[in-house]
């Protein structure tokens, strides 16, 4: 197997190298890639969409349809991880509690007389580790900044690098940071899996729904120009706003899917309690 693998790879490599010799010069401004299609985007992005960041305009408008499915890919991954990993609720489960004043961990096997979750008795998960106060405080301190930055990235994607994806991932990362520095149980209590799932579907729905709205207004799918009467602007600005709307959808979807995948991967589907 290894030998066959190596042979295949050698063959592929040689083929690739042979054909790579025929490429145009690296960075050649006159290569077909730089002269056929891309000049249109570069020269018309302002006039068509009023978005100076061409990547954003191409991403969310010219090839907005691609991006919608890109978001769907993410959602699919979230669904897939959930579908593959999530375990149903176990019949007899063990519950761990921690007596905060003494720091004693209590395991209750039959959920008969479990104490209320309170300041004294704190419910914890099986993989609970004593938390470091420094890490916890620092990450708590950092989170708002991360989130604000993420919002900036989402909103300012028209003018600078960034957009829904990057912003969404950062937002998700903030929550993941919280989950790492605290624990999964606390995070799930704040953003439940259900809400993460519904938000991720809703995020893609914002995108696809915007497109469907355009169809209802009598234009092509995702043709944001159709939204002009609703937004009260001209068609070019409507495109710009339309891009913002879908970027928000993307950010919502990406954020919640990242959280959702993390929930399932990091607990191997247990999340300490079943569905």
Partner 1 sequence: MDFLTVLISRANYWAYIILMMVGLYAMIAKNNLVKKIVGMSIFQTAVILFYVSIGAKQGATIPILRHGPVPEGGGIAHAALRHGTDAVQAVNYINPLPHVLMLTAIVVGVATLGVALALAIKVYKEYGTLEENEINQRLRRG
Partner 2 sequence: MVNTLPALVIIVPLLAALMVAAAGFIDKRACFPVAVAALSVSFLGAAALLVQVVNTGLAIEYRFAGWAAPMGIVYVIDHLSALVLVVITAVSLVNLVSSKQTIHREFADKEGAFISLYVLFTAGLIGMTATGDAFNLYVLLEIASLSGYALIGLGKARAPLATLNYLFLGTIGATFYLLGVGYLYIATGSLNMADLAAILPGMKDSGIVLFAFIIMLSGLFVKMALFPVHGWLPGAYSQSSSAAAGLIAPLTTKVTVYIMVRICLNLFSVDYTFHQLNVSDFLVWVAIATIVFGSLSALAQTDYKKMLTYIIIAEVGYMVGGFFLGNRMGMSGAILHIVNDAVMTLCLFMAAGIFLWKTGSEERGDLKGLFGSMPFTMAGFVLAGLSIIGVPPTCGFFSKWYLVSGGIAAGQYAFVAALLFSSLVNAVLFFRLFEISYFEPFIDHHHGSDDGGGHGGAGAVIQEAPMAMLVPFLFVSIMLLVLGIYSGRIVTNIIHFAIPAGVI
Partner 3 sequence: MIWQLDLIILVLVIVCAIAAINVKDLLSAAILLGAYSFLLCLLWAIMGAVDVAFTEATVGAGVSTVFCVSAVFHTTRRTTD
Residue nearer to partner 1 on the CB measure, 2 or 133: 2
- Rounded distance between C-alpha atoms, residue 170 and residue 164, angstroms: 10
Is 133 a residue that touches partner 1 (CB under 8 A)? Answer: no
Residue nearer to partner 2 on the CB measure, 63 or 182: 63
Of 77-85, 103-111, 179-187, 217-225, which segment contacts partner 1 by CB under 8 A?
77-85
Interacting residues of 139 by C-beta distance below 8 A, sequence separation 6+: 177, 178, 180, 181, 182
Site string for partner 1, 82-101 (x = CB under 8 A): --xx----------------
- Rounded distance between C-alpha atoms, residue 223 and residue 243, angstroms: 10
Is 36 a residue that touches partner 2 (CB under 8 A)? Answer: yes
Interacting residues of 109 by C-beta distance below 8 A, sequence separation 6+: 92, 94
Question: What's the start-to-end Cα distance of the chain, in Å?
Answer: 42
Residue nearer to partner 3 on the CB measure, 53 or 200: 53
107 sits in which H/E element: strand 104-108
Is 221 a residue that touches partner 2 (CB under 8 A)? Answer: yes
Is 137 a residue that touches partner 2 (CB under 8 A)? Answer: no
**Cβ neighbour number for residue 196 with a 10 Å cutoff:** 24
Site string for partner 1, 36-75 (x = CB under 8 A): -xxx-xxxxxxx----xxxx--xx---x--xx--x--xx-
Interacting residues of 201 by C-beta distance below 8 A, sequence separation 6+: 75, 253
**Cβ neighbour number for residue 222 with a 10 Å cutoff:** 23
Is 268 a residue that touches partner 2 (CB under 8 A)? Answer: no
Binding to partner 2 in span 150-189, by CB under 8 A: none
Quote the least distance from Cβ 7 to partner 1, whole Å: 10
Torsion on CA atoms 187, 188, 192, 193, rounded to nearest 10 = 110
Residue whose entry in the numeric block shows the structure tokens 């919640």: 256
- Rounded distance between C-alpha atoms, residue 273 and residue 275, angstroms: 7
Of 92-100, 124-132, 178-186, 257-265, which segment contacts partner 1 by CB under 8 A?
257-265
Quote the least distance from Cβ 98 to partner 2, whole Å: 29
Strand 95-99 vs strand 121-124: parallel, antiparallel, or unpaired? antiparallel
Task: Look at residue 9 and give the partner it binds from partner 3, partner 2, partner 1, none, a contact being a CB closer than 5 to 8 Å depending on partner kind.
Answer: partner 1
- Rounded distance between C-alpha atoms, residue 183 and residue 169, angstroms: 20
Task: Look at residue 172 and give the partner it binds from partner 3, partner 2, partner 1, none, a contact being a CB closer than 5 to 8 Å depending on partner kind.
Answer: partner 3
Residues near partner 3 (CB under 8 A) are 27, 53, 55-56, 59, 153, 161-163, 165-166, 169-170, 172-173, 176, 180, 258, 261-262, 265-268
């Amino acid at each position: 197997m290894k030998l066959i693998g190596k042979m295949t790879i050698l063959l592929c490599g040689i083929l690739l190298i042979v054909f790579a010799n025929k490429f145009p010069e690296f960075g050649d401004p006159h290569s077909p890639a730089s002269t056929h299609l891309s000049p249109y985007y570069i020269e018309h992005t302002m006039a068509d969409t009023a978005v100076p960041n061409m990547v954003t305009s191409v991403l969310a408008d010219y090839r907005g349809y691609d991006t919608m499915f890109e978001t769907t890919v993410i959602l699919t991954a979230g669904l897939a991880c959930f579908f593959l990993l999530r375990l149903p609720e176990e019949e007899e489960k063990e519950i761990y509690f921690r007596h905060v004043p003494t720091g004693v961990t209590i395991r209750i096997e039959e959920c008969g007389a479990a104490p209320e979750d309170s300041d004294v008795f704190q419910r914890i998960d099986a993989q609970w580790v004593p938390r470091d106060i420094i890490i916890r405080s620092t990450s708590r301190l950092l989170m708002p900044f991360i989130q604000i930055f993420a919002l900036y990235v989402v909103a300012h994607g028209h003018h600078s690098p960034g957009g829904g994806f990057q912003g969404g991932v950062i937002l998700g990362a903030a929550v993941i940071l919280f989950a790492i520095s605290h624990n999964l149980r606390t995070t799930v209590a704040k953003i439940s899996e259900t809400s993460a799932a519904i938000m991720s579907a809703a995020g893609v729905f914002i995108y696809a729904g915007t497109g469907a709205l355009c169809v209802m207004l009598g234009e092509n799918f995702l043709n944001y120009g159709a939204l002009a009467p609703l937004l009260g602007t001209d068609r070019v600005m409507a495109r710009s706003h339309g891009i913002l709307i879908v970027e928000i959808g993307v950010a919502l979807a990406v954020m919640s899917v990242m959280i959702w995948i993390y929930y399932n991967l990091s607990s191997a589907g247990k999340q300490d309690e079943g569905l």
